[in-house]
Amino acid sequence: MYDLFLYKQLYCYLPTFLTNKMNLLNGKLVENNAEIPLVKLYEDVMSFKRVSKVCELGLSRAIALACLQIVKLETDGVTSALDAVNSFGAAGMQWAKRFFSENISITLNTALGLGDVCRKWLNENNYLTDSVKVVSMDPQVLMHSSKHKFVYLEVTGTVVPYLDAAVRSVNHNGLLCVTCTDTSTLYNKCPTTAQRLYGANLLKNEYCKEVAIRVIIANIAQSAARWNKGIKVEMCAAVEPGFTVVCRVLRGPKHGDISISSIQLLEHCQLCQARRFKPRTKYITPGNGKTLCKCSTEEVAAPILLLGPMWSGSIFQPDFVLKTCLTATQMNLSSEHRKILELILLESVCCKTNEEEEKLLKHTTQFNGESQLNQESEPEHKKVKLDSEVTQVGSENSPCLTKEMRSYKHIPFYCDFQHHSVKGGNPPKLLTVLNELRSRGYNASKTHFGPRGLRTSASVEQFD
């Protein structure tokens, strides 16, 4: 009994081996070049399992940090930002450090009992000003009671219960950044749970990560439509242990109708992994005259499943992804995170030739070198600020995104080329398959969803 009493009085510290993205240094948590205190947690405040998952979401907070900088440049006057879910408050404290004394109003929602710890750290570092507000409230009540230009949701588990309040809280043309760690449900480990939470039929297949992203977006669009709003998906990321979606919220029933029309079912062949979106109509139609694949014969019909409903539109906007990449470089974020963002940029464009891809990479590399030289000659308080060159390069008139790149149609889903290799033989290398597809005139690129995945305009039959 005495040992149990002592155990309950001990603080739960975060071990150094939880993730490679975070390091413990002198009792502080260093992430993306921003020091955050090592929060001491009682056992009854937050479980150790939840602590572990929150620590591994460094990429999501890096994306949120870059998105907030983009929103700040787009907004005239004070930019209101909200770290909504009452957890560690790590994202909000990063914002307070990065944008200290700038024209940003930050609301930080922490778990009950951690608010005093956050205030103490902010006071010790002189970050607690009139523009930083620390609260411990129910997230839905907090979001329903205030409006913001940028809302960040970092949820351990499913994010669906918070979406209605979050979409209502975002102003017109504002950004909503959603992060959740509900991987087991979205990978269809329990089909009944996926039906109950997301209202979707799911299947474990080679492109299940993108299916999970599209199901989350579909739920965001449905929540927005209830408030006569629509969404425009700017970018997304699926890196363990969670999913991140960044979308722009647009006010008006017209935008809501357009968003709802992009929610469709997906036809999936279990034999050859062929897939195709099927519009949701009120009429029973036998099909559009074209079969999904050649697996069906006169004697045997191929097993076709209907997955979803899910988002059928684009999940990347190359202009916005380019802004995020350049902003992350200018803010000197982690090199690991910048590499993932560059991969997402190449995936969003899905180049048709190696020259186009080299041009994009050369542009980001040159900017990386120039920004480092500029930062060495500037004082510390100016290092985190973006100059006018960043907004010009990341704008819609960016010279590195040619008209041909912008004319490329978004390609839904990717293929795991090893699943389509000849049985019994050694699968080819990724670059070999990539160059072969481009030599035949197809768009092709690597994908951040998996190390063996390729996003290509070739059909599954052509890919085989």
- Supply the pLDDT for residue 399: 63
- Enter the tokens of residue 350: 């899905």
* Model pLDDT for residues 90-123, shown as the tens digit of each residue: 899 899 989 988 899 999 999 877 788 788 878 8
Instruction: Pick the more confident residue, 130 or 255.
Output: 255
pLDDT digits (tens, 9 = 90+) for 156-207: 899 999 999 999 999 999 999 999 999 999 999 999 999 999 999 999 888 9
pLDDT of the residue at 303: 87
DSSP string, 345-412: HHHHH--SSHHHHHHHHHHHHHHHHHHHHHHHHS-GGGTT---HHHHHHTSTT-TTS-HHHHHSPP--
pLDDT value of position 427? 73
pLDDT tens digits for range 54-72: 567 889 999 999 999 999 9
Strands 444-446 and 453-456 come out as: antiparallel
* 213: Cα within 13 Å, side-chain hemisphere: 29
**Predicted pLDDT of residue 201:** 95
Question: Of residues 149 and 430, which shows the higher confidence score?
Answer: 149
pLDDT score for 462:
76
**Model confidence over 12-39: pLDDT tens digits?**
333 333 333 334 333 344 454 455 554 4
What are the structure tokens assigned to 336, written together? 């690991």
CA separation for the pair 463, 421 (Å, rounded): 10
Instruction: Report pTM.
Output: 0.85
**Burial class of residue 419 (count of CB atoms within 10 Å of its CB; 0-12, 13-18, 19+):** middle
- pLDDT surpasses 90 at 149: yes
Domain residue ranges of the chain, discontinuous segments joined by +: 318-379+386-463
Give CA–CA dist 93/54, Å, rounded.
14
